[in-house]
Amino acid sequence: MNPHFSFKRINLLAIRYFTEHGRRDLVTLCALFVAFVFLPRLQFNPFLLFCFVLFIGGMRFTARIFHEIHQPGSGMHYLHIPASRLEKFILNGTITLILFPLVCLLLFWGGTLFGNLIAPIVPSFFHYPVIDTASLIPWAQIGKGISQYVLLQATFFLGSLIFKKHPTTKTFLSIFAFSLAIGIIQLILISILWTDIDTTSTGLFYTKLEQFTAPLLESRIVPYLNYLFNGVVVIFFWVVAYLKFTEKQV
């Protein structure tokens, strides 16, 4: 194996992945297609259904992408495949970050269109015959959705390397515990630094922090700051995940 980065080896890794996991993934994709065909006709919001499948399925799928390296036999086999650590890492990242969302989007559109075709055939089953594909996706929310999914992918991508068993559950509980700890710390700091006590008629707490942040929250800069923060966190998680993967190879 030459030491240079090779897309040909990534292609061979992809062929190996789909050869070993193609049947399982095909069954899952068929189930998702059926869900996109029928569930929106039962008064489910189509876009909310798509987001649910994308985020919940993305968590599960991404958290298991490195499952085989935690097993003694398959782990040694995978780590000795003649491809660089970076090439293996990029392939798994591409599958979970790009390929899975694109396939979900195609199934979403395809299932909706197919449902529109068969709706007149069985009108008694559907509550409404067709779905307006022109307004199927609220494009104003696409940026926020992409940002959230990328952060989700990076988080569970790292969790798939850290936790050997039940990576989805343990990653989710880790996020919950970390968020709870951060929230408690924020409340303590606010109560110490920015909270005054109104001892007049109301007897309630009010914070100077709200007076400081109110103009900022009303401005247009907040979404961009949120995207910037998410971007920094995502890059940090990817770097840590890559270092964790190389540590596993060693």
Q: How far apart, in Å, are the Cα atoms of 50 and each of 35, 103, 137?
A: 10, 11, 9
Residue 100 Cα distances to 46, 92, 106, 180, 201, angstroms: 18, 11, 10, 30, 57
Amino acid at 126: F
Per-residue pLDDT reduced to its tens digit, 72-122: 777 777 777 888 889 999 999 999 999 999 999 999 988 888 888 877 776
- Tens of each residue's pLDDT in the chain, 250 residues: 566 788 889 999 999 888 888 888 899 999 999 888 888 777 677 888 899 999 999 999 999 998 888 877 777 777 778 888 899 999 999 999 999 999 999 999 888 888 888 777 766 655 555 677 777 778 777 888 888 999 999 999 999 999 988 899 999 999 888 888 877 876 777 667 655 544 444 444 445 445 555 555 555 666 677 778 888 889 999 999 999 988 865 5
Q: What's phi and psi for 153, nearest 5 deg? A: -60, -45
Residue from 47, 49, 30 nearest 133 by CA: 47
